[in-house]
Structure 1
Amino acid sequence: MKKSLSLIAIGFAVSMTFAPLTHAADAPAKTAQQNKMTTCNKSAEGKKGDERKAFMKECLSAKDDTPTTQQGKMKVCAAEGKGKKGDEYKAFMKECLSKKA
């Protein structure tokens, strides 16, 4: 009887060890808001109470102006490259568009 209870306990412990590993692969990708919350939480380390609340409110309500599409990058780079002409403009646009967001 003790032997079977020990085997059951060991089996349970082993199954609980691997349970998180199987669900991690099935987890859906984080949403933009969840990513923003993670980033803001990391930035808020060390802050407490009202200071943390104010920081989190501002951080979470901040608009992310980073262009994510190629079209968005084109608009930003074209605005920054105003006044440049010819090869200088082409070189600027190539460098600007190849930057990681």
Structure 2
Amino acid sequence: MKRDGAMKITLLVTLLFGLVFLTTVGAAERTLTPQQQRMTSCNQQATAQALKGDARKTYMSDCLKNSKSAPGEKSLTPQQQKMRECNNQAT
């Protein structure tokens, strides 16, 4: 009887480790979101310019806000274009 209990515990532990391993492998294979791609790009640019401290923080903030350089950014919908035109005319 003790042998059956030990076998079940061993099997359970093995299955749990297998599940954890498969979960981490699956997470590593997923593609980056546009925000993650933007963050990676901005970080590489800041490193290439050797920015540090407040200058790096300011650069990263401006870079991440810059929607024109965002990879995979969608174009505006007709409604969004119309709103932008109206806002520009109103100011």
Give the TM-score normalised by the residue count of structure 1.
Answer: 0.42
Structure having the higher helix fraction is: 2
- Which one scores higher on RCO, CA 8 angstroms, separation ≥ 6? 2
- TM-score, L = length of structure 2: 0.46
